[in-house]
Amino acid sequence: MISKSSLLAEPASPAHICPFDQACSYLEAAAKELNLNQGLLEILSHPRKVVTVSIPVKLDDGEIQVLAGHRVQHSDVLGPYKGGIRFYPAVTLREVSALAMLMTWKCALLGIPYGGGKGGIAIDPKRYSVGELERISRRYISELIKDIGPSVDIPAPDMGTSAREMAWMMDTYSVNIGHAVPGVVTGKPLSIGGSLGREMATGRGTMIIVREALADRGKSLVGVRVAIQGFGNVGCAAAELLYEAGAKIIAVSTGAGGIFSEVGLDIPALKVYAAENRKSIVGFPQSVAISNADLLTLPCDVLIPAALENQITEENVNQVQAQIVAEAANGPVTLEANLALEARGVIVLPDILANAGGVVVSYLEWVQGLSYVFWDEERVNREMEHLMVQAYRKVIHQSEVRQISLRLAAYTLGVGRVAQALTDRGLYP
C-alpha cells in the first residue's frame, strides 16, 4: 500500500470520491501488474514538490483579496514538468496533486519528454473582471517564477483559463527574465509563439482514439451515434470533428443543461447558436432539453464525458448504455464504475490516452518555441496523429499480451516507463 504524503494531508474534497486516492489506486494496480518494488512505488506516489503561494490582489473597487495558488510538480524524471493551470471554485491541493500524477503517466505513455505538473486557484473566473483576472494571473506566476521555466516547468491552459491568461503569464515571466521566453508556457496566442492546431488538439485526439477503437471493430465513424457531455473547448472540438467525419451527434450538454435530437444535431449551426447566446445551447431548434444526468444514460454507440471528473459512478453506471466510453475529461469514470463497465464488456478509452491530444500539441508548441521555427497546421496535426495512434497501438498490444483492461494497459505503459527511467538514473545522493 502507498503511504500518503503529509504534504497532502488536507481534508478530502466535498465529493465522496477523492481524486488523489483514485489516482493512487490506479498507480498501485499498475505497480502490482509490473511487479514494482515498494521503494519505487513510494517514490512514484509522492509529488517531488508542492508549492502553495499567497496571491494578494486589488479588486476594481479597491478591496484587497488574498487568494491561495497551488502548483504541484509530480515528477521530472523524463523531462520538465508539464500541466495546466485551472481557475475553478472546487480546486483543492489533493485534486491538483492527482492531476499532476496523471499527467506524468500521460506524457510517458505518449512518449514525450515531460513529467507531470498541475496548478490552480480556487476562484470562479466569471466573478472577476478582465482586469482583476489579469492581476491574479500575473501575481500568481510571479510568485512561482523560481519554480517554472522552459526547461523546468511549462504551464498551459486548463479549466477556466485560456490563451489570454497564458499571454499574461508569458509576459510576466519574460519581463522578469529580461527577454521574451515563448517556451515558458504553451497554449499561447499565435502572435506570441502559439501553435496552429492547439485549440482543437484535445478534441481532435479524442476523435482519433475513438476512430481507431471503432476501426478495430470493423466500423467507421459514419453513422455512429455519439453523446458528448460538455460543449466547452474539448467537447465542442470533438463534436465538430466527429460531425465532419460523418458521426451522428445525438446529444451535447453544458453545465446549464443539454439538448437531444434523435436524427442528430447540426453542429456547425449549434456552434453559431451558442456563440450568439452566451455559450448556452438550451433552446436550440429541432432539439429537446435533457439534463446532464440524462445524457450519460442515452442509448448510443459512443459516450464522451468531456466535462468534470466523477460523472459516471457506481450510482449511475448500470444505466449507461454506450458501447464505448471515451474519457475526454480527467477522471470522469470512477474506479468502481470503470470495473462495472469493463465487466459488461463496455470499452473504456482511458483519459491518459483519450484526452492526450492537448499535451501532445503543447509539446509540439514548446518544440517550435525553442527552435523559433513554426509549422503549418497540417504538419502539427500530422505529428499529433502519429503520436496518438502509436500510443493507442501500444495500449492495445499491452492489453492483449497481458490480458488486462485498456486502462490498466495504459497505466502499465506510463508507470513502467517512468519507473524504468528512475531505475536507470538511480537515486541521488
Q: What's the pLDDT at 16?
A: 54
CA angle 394, 421, 330 (to 5 degrees): 55
Q: What's the pLDDT at 1?
A: 60
Q: Say if domain 201-354 classifies as CATH 3.40.50.720.
A: yes
Partners of 258 in the beta sheet?
253, 290
Q: What's the pLDDT at 13?
A: 42
Q: What's the pLDDT at 18?
A: 77
d(CA 357, CA 415): 19
Question: DSSP labels for 397-428?
Answer: HHHHHHT--HHHHHHHHHHHHHHHHHHHH---
Of residues 350, 384, 300, 393, the one with CA closest to residue 30: 350
Percent of the chain residues past pLDDT 70, beyond the cut: 96
**Phi and psi of 114, rounded to 5°?**
-130, 160
Residue 118 falls in the annotated catalytic set? yes
Q: Could you say which of 118, 271, 279, 394 is catalytic?
A: 118
- What does the block give as the cell for 315? 450510482
Q: What's the pLDDT at 20?
A: 87
Residues of the chain under the 50 pLDDT cut: 4-7, 9-15
* SS3 assignment, position 253: strand
Partners of 349 in the beta sheet?
326
d(CA 241, CA 247): 9
Location of each CATH 3.40.50.10860 domain in the chain: 6-181
The residue whose grid cell reads 489516482 is 23
The residue whose grid cell reads 484526452 is 355
Q: pTM of the predicted model, to two decimals?
A: 0.92
Location of each CATH 3.40.50.720 domain in the chain: 201-354
Q: What's the pLDDT at 268?
A: 96
Partners of 107 in the beta sheet?
none
Amino acid at 168: W
- Architecture of domain 6-181 in CATH? 3-Layer(aba) Sandwich (3.40)
Q: What's the pLDDT at 12?
A: 42
d(CA 48, CA 80): 12
